[in-house]
Chain A
Amino acid sequence: NAGVTQTPKFQVLKTGQSMTLQCAQDMNHEYMSWYRQDPGMGLRLIHYSVGAGITDQGEVPNGYNVSRSTTEDFPLRLLSAAPSQTSVYFCASSSRRQGGPNTGELFFGEGSRLTVL
C-alpha cells in the first residue's frame, strides 16, 4: 500500500518559473491538503480539498493554485516561483467521518524540497 506519494522529491527553480508538485493517494480519502514547512514556523496550510471538484484556501494560499479532478490526485501549482517559496512541501490526506468533517488523522507524503534561486 503506497499511501501518499509526492513527486518530485527535490526541485530547483529560477525566480519566475512555474512548476507543479504532484500528490497522489491510494486510500480513497476524500480530504487532501498541502502544507509548507519552514524552520521555526511549523507547518502552514496552503490549500485543502474535501472532495473531487471542491477546494479551499488555507493559511498561506498566495502564489499557489490547486485543483481536484479526481479523488486520488491533488496537484499544487506554483504560478511564478519566488525565493520566498523555498520550502519543504507536504501533501496529506485523511478520511472523513461518515457524513461529517475531516477526522484530523492525516497521512503525510515524504515531502518535496523546493529551492527557488
Chain B
Amino acid sequence: AQSVTQLDSQVPVFEEAPVELRCNYSSSVSVYLFWYVQYPNQGLQLLLKYLSGSTLVESINGFEAEFNKSQTSFHLRKPSVHISDTAEYFCAFLGGGYNKLIFGAGTRLAVHP
C-alpha cells in the first residue's frame, strides 16, 4: 500500500540552528511529493513540491527538500530557522491514480529563542 511516514512527531530547535524534518514514502510507482505547512489555527499551505526533474526543490522562505529514490525519502531542511518557522509540517504524496493526496502524521517544529 502507498503511504508516507514522518519519522519525528516533534522537533525542538534553537533559533538560527539548522533543522531536518524526515519523511519516507512507500510506493511502487512514480510519486509526486509535497511538503505543506500549517501555522496555528490556520489551514495548510503548500511549501514545496517534487514532480519530476531536479531532485532538489526549494521554497521561497529558505526551506529545501531532496527527493531520494534509492532511500525513498523526501526530507525537508533549512540551514537556519527563525521563530516564525514554528508550525506543523506535513509530508504528502499524490496516490490513488493521482487523485488522492495522502498526508503523513505531521511534525511539529518548535523554534526557541
CB within 8 Å of B: which residues of A?
4, 31, 33, 35, 40-45, 48, 50, 56, 58-59, 90, 92, 100-102, 104-106, 108-111
How many interface residues does chain B have, given as a range? 20 to 34
Do the beta carbons of A101 and B106 come within 8 Å of each other? no
Give CA–CA (A63, B16) in the complex, Å. 46
A/B interface sample: 17 pairs, CB < 8 A: A43-B90, A48-B100, A50-B99, A56-B99, A59-B100, A92-B43, A100-B98, A101-B94, A102-B94, A104-B32, A104-B34, A104-B94, A106-B44, A106-B46, A108-B43, A110-B42, A110-B43
Give CA–CA (A108, B9) in the complex, Å. 22
For B100, the chain A residues whose CB sits under 8 A away are 45, 48, 58-59
* CB of B57, distance to nearest CB on chain A (Å): 13
> Which residues, 92 to 107 on B, are CB-close (under 8 Å) to A?
92, 94, 97-106
